[in-house]
Amino acid sequence: MKKQVFNPYLPSWEYIPDGEPHVFNGRVYIYGSHDHFNGWIFCPGDYVCYSASVDDLKDWRFEGVTYKKTQDPLNEDGHMCLYAPDVTVGPDGRYYLYYCLDKVPVVSVAVSDKPAGPFEFYGYVHYKDGTRVGEREGDMPQFDPAVITEGERTYLYTGFCGNGMKDRKGAMAMELGPDMLTMQGDYNVIVPGNVYGAGSGFEGHEFFEASSIRKIGDVYYFVYSSVVMHELCYATSTSPREGFTYGGVIVSNCDMHISSYKSADMPAAYGANNHGGMVQINENWYIFYHRQTNGSWYSRQGCAEKIRILEDGSIPQVEITSCGLNDGPLEGKGTYPGYIACNIFVEKDPFPYIHGDKYPFITQEGRDGDENEGFVANIYDGATFGFKYFDFKDVKKVSLTTRCYISGVFEVRTEIGGPVLGTIPCEFSNVWVKNTADVALPDGIHALYFTFRGSGNGQVQSVTLE
């Protein structure tokens, strides 16, 4: 089997959500926060970085720890977490890392001569009188910074607006001077929070968090997480600080609103919050986002999908898939890990948010940092997990490797609600056991779904196509 790349695109034991992709010197660098496997809070880890050549997105390189949370003078004892960061190249050619700690309302900045660091603390974003932005009376707290530099001007975007927060008006945009720290003038609100959404054009998709900014031609694209959390939306303007209008949803980590393979109001995965950014890699554009694992909000993994930017500048919503950066469907032969399942759901339950062990989920063994491959867990009667997409050619046998207290059959389909093409029996096992059945899959590009019918609760390590 040829080398391929899956979603999540990093190793299955790595938890890097809030991914901001940037291309520097022929490589794509991913800057994100750092969750833990079986984490108890958001973002407890130090920043790490991964990169890949723009010509080979199948080969991601670990760049190491780029910035430790204890490097910030406000956090020398490490009691605060590093939330979602972003990076830009300043007028001096150096790389500036913008981030927020979780218990203070300010934006911190670190700097490095290299895109993968290591970064050193540089200062705090402040007004001209030295007051840190976020600490002046009447300031909204800073959160999830996004940043873009054009010549001597750098534009910074921040904000957090929970449902019903009257003191949080929306996403903020501000200009920084060439020192990358000093705010020029005041900030503008560019996308409203839900309290202020009426009549704005953003109704139902008002700003929640997760600011990200890109410029395509003469148009600024502001990507953000809306009040429903699982979706990344975008707004556009020809000005970096005003005039933004709602564009639509780019991706939902539970595939809500997508009706190409199911009903639009059916969640096909259990999601929660979302954060990411767009990037152009050679001729293609991608959206990076994250998914939830381990039945928890606190163990998130980075995923990516190719997107289209139409002639009118609009971006149609894309499906979440297992193939992501692969530049096409996965080869329909060989063994694939269960953790790349992009669709996981149970029958007759429209709840879209991940919720402990009530639903099936992706997990792994061991502790955080253990390089143990992930798998699908908590499989019970009526549970479905699926993969998109494969290019099948003459597949006659399908196998699932399972274990635990499970007894029954897995129905095999290539579409949700479609005909059963075959069944794979399985029985309780203390160890991983390969279960095989004769199942003829139709040639061509298709999804692959498995629905369990039986008793007990089990786990699925992998699927094999022969």
Catalytic sites, residue numbers: 18, 209
Three-state DSSP class for 340? helix
- Comparing CA positions, the residue from 451, 391, 389, 390 lying closest to residue 417 is 451
Sheet of strand 86-89: strand arrangement: 86-89, 95-99, 108-112, 120-124
Buried b (16+ CB within 10 A) or exposed e, 356-394: eeebbbbbbeeeeeeeeebbbbbbbeebbbbbbbbebee
Say if CB 134 and CB 107 are below 8 A apart. yes
Could you list the beta-strand ranges (E) of 310-443. 330-331, 334-337, 343-346, 361-363, 375-379, 383-392, 397-413, 422-426, 429-438
CA–CA separation, 440 and 419 (whole Å):
12
Residue bearing tokens 């705010």: 183
Residue bearing tokens 């921040």: 158
- Comparing CA positions, the residue from 252, 162, 248 lying closest to residue 207 is 162
Q: Where are the alpha helices (DSSP H) in 106-147?
A: none
Residue bearing tokens 């019918």: 453
Maximum separation of any 2 CA atoms in the chain, in Å: 74
Three-state DSSP class for 403? strand
Buried b (16+ CB within 10 A) or exposed e, 399-438: bbbbbbebebbbbbbbebeeeebbbbebeeeeeeeebebe
How many CA atoms are closer than 13 Å to the CA of 166, on its beta-carbon side?
A: 0
CA–CA separation, 303 and 134 (whole Å):
32
